[in-house]
Structure 1
Amino acid sequence: MKEYRPHEIEPKWQKVWEERGVFTTPQYSDKPKYYALVMFPYPSGTLHVGHVKNYVIGDIVARYKRMQGYNVLHPFGYDAFGLPAENAAIANKIHPKKWTFDNINTIRGQIKKLGISYDWSREVITCTEDYYKWTQWIFLKLYEAGLAYKKPGAVNWCPSCQTVLANEQVKDGKCERCGTPVTMKHLEQWYFKITDYAEKLLEGLDRLEGWPEHVKTMQRNWIGKSTGAEIDFPVEGTDKKIRIFTTRPDTIYGVTFMAVAPESPLVLELVTEDKKAEVEAFLAKVALEDRFKRTSLEAKKEGVFLGRYAINPLTGERIPIYVANYILYEYGTGAIMAVPAHDQRDHDFAKAYNLPIRQVIKPYEGEWNVEEKAYEDEGIMVNSGPFNGLNSKDGIEAVIKFLEEKGIGKRSVQYKLRDWLISRQRYWGAPIPVVYCQKCGIVPVPEDELPVRLPEDVEFLPTGQSPLMLSEEFKATKCPKCGGPAQREVETMDTFVDSSWYFLRYVNPRLDDKPFDTKDVNYWLPVDQYIGGVEHAVLHLLYSRFITKVLHDLGYVGFDEPFENLFTQGMIYKDGWKMSKSKGNVVSPDDMVEKFGADTLRMYILFMAPPEKDAEWNDAGIEGVHRFLRRLWNNYYRILELLKSGQVEDRELNKEERQLRRKLHAMIKKIKEDIEGGFKFNTAIAGLMEFNNQLSDYLESSNSFHAGLLNEIAEKVALILSPFAPHMAEEMWHDLGKQTLIVEEKWPDYDPSALIEEEITMVVQVNGKVRGKIVVPAEAAEEEIKSEALKNVEKLIAGKSVEKVVYVPRKLVNIVVK
């Protein structure tokens, strides 16, 4: 019998698929379209099996949809700019471009060995000029629309990566890339005005029915919509006002101090001369602290009096103004009205600095000692002038109305979301396409002069300033407006700008006069199924949604959400840890393919756990899947031998064969339901294993074999196997004598009539305890089944009185005796 040799059949069929271009997608087709997309990788090293899980899941979906008759777009590319590639290049003392392309070549080879059905003719690499030219074009479109701007301000700074970070790239006060604690710096930087789209981004989430709820919740929380009031507090003795935002204007009568964030420009504007030295020392101390830890509930609350007072606009009371470490500049207005009786952090600060604590809300029932702890719930307004006696909810509305009537405040909606900081002081990124002219100011580079090319002969070690500063050849240019001398912007764009639109470029990857054709992207987009890690729930997915909405509003695309359905796969762990080179627990897909073959690796990755769950790698597990594939192969080629040798008969199916055919069609039905009902690939493979066991029993125990059944099994099993183990299935299909490629065949239908059971097995209980089983005709009447059950246990109940017989259709009969 033919031996299973994956190392021979896998390269053979990969070559055939490539030569025949079976995965090359026509731009238009009579078939319905299906865009299956996986998140593309950073090519900062080789792949491990944790990365591969994403691509295998995507491939099952793409292959299954092709077999269902769809014109499937399944492309691949590389998120090739950015810090991961640059840091790795620096560590290995090699230019980022060479390091990146060497890794791309390695990763491409790794993926091709797995038989992933990508349309390689659409490959996209974000660091190539023909791609980042259009990233720069997108920047210009946002600039023209007033959505790209430059401003000075306090920014997140990673001392290790020597670059600024967007808020989204700071995790628990640390750099998302390297884990170094983040500090603050004051720099002039470029931003995208994502805050203009906060409400649209929120509203859009309600329409994304195909997204996991936890991902939508993460985005809602990040956008952080709050409804309340903006109130201006005049600063005594000046013409300045401190504008605050509060969700609890009902507590305004309880304000006993104001607090300003250390990063706020207001601090140095308001501090009096006699307090300046103390305040500057405090600011220097706070600048070294983790901003996110210092603002936690548990952190020690510290501050310094600025020497000035604000005036409560409702009471006229003088209120001391402090700079406080627990206020974040990014949230609200960077300043608060502090109500220590009803906010615990304000309470802690007031206790530390002996400030008054004034209760203005009391519980609906009972009393509360606000000197001991802040009361933060709803209640009845007290000590609040004309608003006394109102409940909190009504009080909020009444105070806002009063503020608006007096012109000292207004109803307001605020978002935690801050504008997207895109400037990076690093080399390996798309240059920002503007120039600085002494006469004309900031001037965008004309579209016909794109791309602004990234020079290759630049020292790119991180210094805290952009390496492009060191290239006079790059910096020096002419102003596009007046023709006079000018300097190019030397900072590069955040890599998340590159990945915010790549799914559009896949549609027209070789177009050189525009980033994409509107008609084509309107045909293919939104993506029907997007697959990737949940770690991108905020960063990449939020930015991609923003850029898509901007392009929609500017008339370039006809849809405003890029991804209709989203699936987030779990991670693969080894030895209890996420795979990483530093921990030495990486499993190489190359090693697994070399040892077991690509089909085994694909099947094991899918079988080890539900795909949305994390899973622990187990060497014994992949060996078990390999044994299963060998048993399936041996059964299949035993069938082919029987068919070729003529040891088969044309006759009616016997009872065992009818049961086997029922199992075959039940498996086809279940696998279809498992794939379409949430990507339950592990249970789909389990169903295939179960069928193979029954097939083994038939082949080993029977003396005669049914020709039609064996042919049907051989055809259907190969087709069912095709998305999961495509090389094995292709070989089986070929050896069955088929002239077509199985990847171009139709997904098999199940026969409903085959699923009708002839017999059913029922449990027999006596007084609730299982005492036996009976096999009865599926159409047997209730009384007939009860009678059979009584016969089954007649010795056990001999001499006892049968009180009643409980019948549960198709499940059990319980005989109650005394």
Structure 2
Amino acid sequence: MDRIYDPKVIEPKWQKFWEDHQTFRTDVWDFSKPKFYALDMFPYPSGVGLHAGHPEGYTATDIVSRMKRMQGYNVLHPMGYDSFGLPAEQYAVTTGHHPEGFTKENIKTFSHQLKELGFDYDWDKMIATSDPDFYKWTQWIFKQLYLDGYAQYIDMPVNWCEELGTVLSNDEVIDGKSERGGYPVVRKNMKQWVIDQPAFAEKLLEGLEEIDWPESTKDMQRHWIGKSTGVEVKFQIVGGGEFSIFTTCIETIYGITFMVLAPDGQLVQDLMPRIKNQEEVKAYIEETRKKNDMDRTELNKGKTGCRLEGVKCINPANGKEAELFIGDFVLASYGTGAVMAVPSHDQRDFEYAVAHNIPMIQVIDGADVSEHAFEKQDYLGKGCKLINSEEFTGLTVEEAKEAITAKLEKMGVAKRTVNYHFREWIFARQRYWGEPVPVVHTEDGKIYPLPDDELPLILPELEDYKGKNGKAPLENAEEWKHYDKNGVKGLRETSTMPGSAGSSWYYMRYIDPHNDKEFADYKLLEHWLPVDLYIGGPEHAVGHLMYSRIWNRYLYDKGLSPVKEPFKKLVHQGMILGENGIKMGKRFPKYVVNPSDIVEKYGADTLRLYEMFMGPLEVSKPWSPQGVEGARKFLNRVWTFFMNEENITAENDGALDRVFHQTVKKVSGDFESLGFNTAISQMMIFVNACYKNGTCPKAYAEAFVKMISCICPHIGEEMWSLLGHEDTIAYEPWPVWDEEKIKEDTIQIPVQVNGKVRATVEIGVDEGQDSVLEKAHAMKNVQSFIEGKTIVKEIYVKGRIVNIVVK
């Protein structure tokens, strides 16, 4: 009979089958099998739906999940939605409609697109961070953080966007403007909820040694944490007052010629009455407020500043006065908010001193203090000695570090300490569409966390979803925000949590998503964690991936998570670019390829096959319509051969033995290492061999269908069915290879004459030396170089080379 490959018929058929039979539903309480937990970074359900870049990582986890299931693992592969956030908020502000309906419609669209791509998700375990059943537990975990002192309510400088009416994180601010909308952003002090990230810094650094992550990502986290060991030193201000600095180069303290304070720090405000050039200082502070922390800390922007005329400090090491400046590269929120400046031995300090005509004192011998000095050598290198440093002159840098620290400790003005670049995680947004913070500010000025039986604290409906006069939208909920229960009176917190709150623990909830007694059963967490394979973009390296590690480590320390680290293996997929190499996504909508369009024209299996064959998973690559056509042609070729009953035989003549077993071995290994493009190449080699041979044993055909079904599940299921099977292919045993049948009977080895290769000869792998030499002598190219000459020596290295020496 004619068998037609028609994806428009085949794919909906099997999608309905999987849904009706709950083929991929995971019994999380089945501990009889080894577990495999595969996870994708879940998407934000925007109104535009998926683009062609989304399925790349999703297909990768899908392939591995399907293979592991066939290998006998109990596989958990869930999907959900990071559904709180600004786009839904802006929809609510614009339309006046509650964002929940908008969000649910987007989730419906995304889910339809994911299902039409054939992913093996357990949809029974779907979660959305904006679902009260989910965010009840986000609120509960936040409450525990607060009770244990890790969530704090403090006054601190933040990035404020008046137009959006909210605080923004540093990565949401570009060149002083909001990433969304390009609105002006300024720095201002506000009461904020924060999570004490530095409290976890050392544990996070230790944890990086235990996980299989890209080194580049681990290095980014180490840099972001920014651990440094040094000395904190107190400096007295002439006329009263003091401040502290942290330094890793205490040996240069005699080279201080000025100090720099954070413009937005309280100390500068306290000193303002004593500053003679107040107008200049205030103007500089105002300019600083327009810059975010990232802009301020870039080295090429570190030369701006303003002298505090009339105010000086005293160097405790030698009692000498040093001038005070403010500079925007010093942050009030980082360290002590002040730095010592040694322009002879620091690039930024040198440039700053040149720009502001500040004198320099050289304290390390051999330093060439000039414009290009710091490009030439490291003046603080091992073995260098101090000069101009009073009693420490002549000591090496290493000796001086200890001796000067000891002197200052004895004076009571210094202590050894560890500092981190890490700062508090600002955990509040003046938005509506986020988790309400479950606390009440009581009339007596205290903070009252809601009791567990009042969770979830659900968002109220509003008539106006836009904040007013710098206040959060929830300030409009007059009835909701007033609290009077159990003898407690006050106002609810009207800031909401950031979008990263729910995503910091969602991987736990997938394991037990319907539990209304706790965020997840500990026995289930103990069995399923950590996540075995996590795939997502590298842009989350110091955001989501850091936050998830912090929340997990907190829960681990509290005995609520069984693992120190949540994600065992992390892989970053490369971007799929537009045809012209431009990134697909919300910023460049005209370059977006809609996967539904590809599915409509070619089928989901073609899209999946093409994206996996484009190149290595981790590499970015441009979209190619011709490549899509090629993927479809290959599937047609597969279908045409294996669905022709005359090509499938009951007997095995051995002709395909080697290529079949090679294919099973390579595909198995490549799937495990996520080398999908090379696995597909090997499958193409097998298909070509089948065409060349004319027939294929049914056992080999079935094994091939199992392998390709992981990449192209619809055609895989259909071919499996037409090969005579009634059950789904999903739980069939994975094919195995025989190492003996992979071995080559013959090999090609080079033949050298006097050290130069003159020919190659085909020999049996176990052929004896005499026979090999006889074959080598018989080669025409070899004969022309040995004829008429005396053979001095002949060497045969088994299976590798023949070398003939003549004279």
TM-score range, shorter chain: over 0.9
Does residue 49 in structure 1 map to residue 36 in structure 2?
Answer: no
Matches within 5 A, 1:449-488: 449-461=454-466, 464-478=470-484, 480=485, 482-484=487-489, 486-488=490-492
Unaligned runs of 5+ in 2: none
How far the C-alpha of 1:288 sits from its partner, in A, is 2.9
Q: State the percentage of identical aligned residues.
A: 44
How far the C-alpha of 1:810 sits from its partner, in A, is 4.1
Aligned length: 792
How far the C-alpha of 1:549 sits from its partner, in A, is 1.0
Match of 2:197 in 1: 194
Matches within 5 A, 1:382-393: 382-393=387-398
Residue 94 to residue 787, structure 1, CA distance change in 2 (3 Å)? farther
Per-residue CA shift, 1:262-311, capped at 9, x if unaligned? Answer: 11111111121533333212212332346544543333432131522211
Match of 1:555 in 2: 559
How far the C-alpha of 1:772 sits from its partner, in A, is 6.0
Match of 2:546 in 1: 542
Asked if the contact 1:305–1:322 (Cα under 8 Å) also holds between the matched residues in 2, the reply is yes
**Aligned counterpart for 1:630 among listed residues 633, 636, 656:** 636
Per-residue CA shift, 1:439-474, capped at 9, x if unaligned? Answer: 252211221111111122242236543111122122
Match of 1:691 in 2: 686
How far the C-alpha of 1:349 sits from its partner, in A, is 2.6
Matches within 5 A, 1:561-710: 561-574=565-578, 575-581=580-586, 582-638=588-644, 640-643=645-648, 650=651, 653=653, 657-658=654-655, 660-676=656-672, 678-699=673-694, 710=697
Per-residue CA shift, 1:211-231, capped at 9, x if unaligned? Answer: 111111110000000111000
Mean CA deviation greater in 140-149 or 395-404: 395-404
Q: What CA distance in whole angstroms lies between the structure 2 residues aligned with 1:801 and 1:181? A: 88
Does residue 401 in structure 1 map to residue 388 in structure 2?
Answer: no
Mean CA deviation greater in 193-202 or 465-474: 465-474
Q: Which amino acid aligns with 1:266?
A: L
Match of 2:125 in 1: 122
Match of 2:259 in 1: 258
Match of 1:781 in 2: 768
Residue 202 to residue 750, structure 1, CA distance change in 2 (3 Å)? same
Asked if the contact 1:805–1:814 (Cα under 8 Å) also holds between the matched residues in 2, the reply is yes
TM-score (norm 1): 0.92
**Aligned counterpart for 2:68 among listed residues 48, 65, 68:** 65
Residue 782 to residue 228, structure 1, CA distance change in 2 (3 Å)? same
Does residue 146 in structure 1 map to residue 139 in structure 2?
Answer: no
How far the C-alpha of 1:815 sits from its partner, in A, is 6.6
Mean CA deviation greater in 335-344 or 346-355: 346-355
Residue 769 to residue 586, structure 1, CA distance change in 2 (3 Å)? farther
Match of 1:288 in 2: 290
Mean CA deviation greater in 446-455 or 757-766: 757-766
Residue 780 to residue 506, structure 1, CA distance change in 2 (3 Å)? same
Q: What CA distance in whole angstroms lies between the structure 1 residues aligned with 2:412 and 2:628? A: 71
Matches within 5 A, 1:493-532: 493-532=497-536
Match of 1:702 in 2: none
Q: Secondary structure at the match of 2:323?
A: strand
Match of 1:447 in 2: 452
Asked if the contact 2:333–2:423 (Cα under 8 Å) also holds between the matched residues in 1, the reply is yes
How far the C-alpha of 1:492 sits from its partner, in A, is 0.6
Asked if the contact 1:166–1:422 (Cα under 8 Å) also holds between the matched residues in 2, the reply is no
Residue 229 to residue 170, structure 1, CA distance change in 2 (3 Å)? farther
Q: Which amino acid aligns with 1:344?
A: Q
Q: Which amino acid aligns with 1:151?
A: I
Residue 48 to residue 815, structure 1, CA distance change in 2 (3 Å)? farther
Asked if the contact 1:43–1:85 (Cα under 8 Å) also holds between the matched residues in 2, the reply is no
Mean CA deviation greater in 624-633 or 394-403: 394-403
Match of 1:14 in 2: 15
Matches within 5 A, 1:703-722: 710-722=697-709
Asked if the contact 1:6–1:597 (Cα under 8 Å) also holds between the matched residues in 2, the reply is yes
Q: Secondary structure at the match of 1:77?
A: coil
How far the C-alpha of 1:232 sits from its partner, in A, is 0.4
Q: Which amino acid aligns with 1:136?
A: Q
Residue 444 to residue 406, structure 1, CA distance change in 2 (3 Å)? same
Q: Secondary structure at the match of 2:747?
A: strand
Q: What CA distance in whole angstroms lies between the structure 2 residues aligned with 1:349 and 1:794? A: 73
Q: What CA distance in whole angstroms lies between the structure 2 residues aligned with 1:93 and 1:622? A: 43
Q: Secondary structure at the match of 1:569?
A: coil
Residue 164 to residue 59, structure 1, CA distance change in 2 (3 Å)? same
Does residue 415 in structure 1 map to residue 444 in structure 2?
Answer: no
Q: Secondary structure at the match of 2:457?
A: coil
Asked if the contact 1:256–1:356 (Cα under 8 Å) also holds between the matched residues in 2, the reply is yes
How far the C-alpha of 1:747 sits from its partner, in A, is 0.7
Q: Which amino acid aligns with 2:7?
A: P
Unaligned runs of 5+ in 1: 700-704
Asked if the contact 1:194–1:546 (Cα under 8 Å) also holds between the matched residues in 2, the reply is yes
Match of 2:731 in 1: 744
Asked if the contact 2:93–2:464 (Cα under 8 Å) also holds between the matched residues in 1, the reply is no
Asked if the contact 1:667–1:687 (Cα under 8 Å) also holds between the matched residues in 2, the reply is yes
Per-residue CA shift, 1:719-749, capped at 9, x if unaligned? Answer: 1112111111111111111233210111111
Matches within 5 A, 1:206-355: 206-208=209-211, 210-238=212-240, 240-271=241-272, 272=274, 274-289=276-291, 291-299=293-301, 300-355=303-358
Asked if the contact 2:232–2:414 (Cα under 8 Å) also holds between the matched residues in 1, the reply is yes
Per-residue CA shift, 1:771-805, capped at 9, x if unaligned? Answer: 76544333222332332233231697285647676
Q: Secondary structure at the match of 1:325?
A: coil
Q: Secondary structure at the match of 2:108?
A: helix
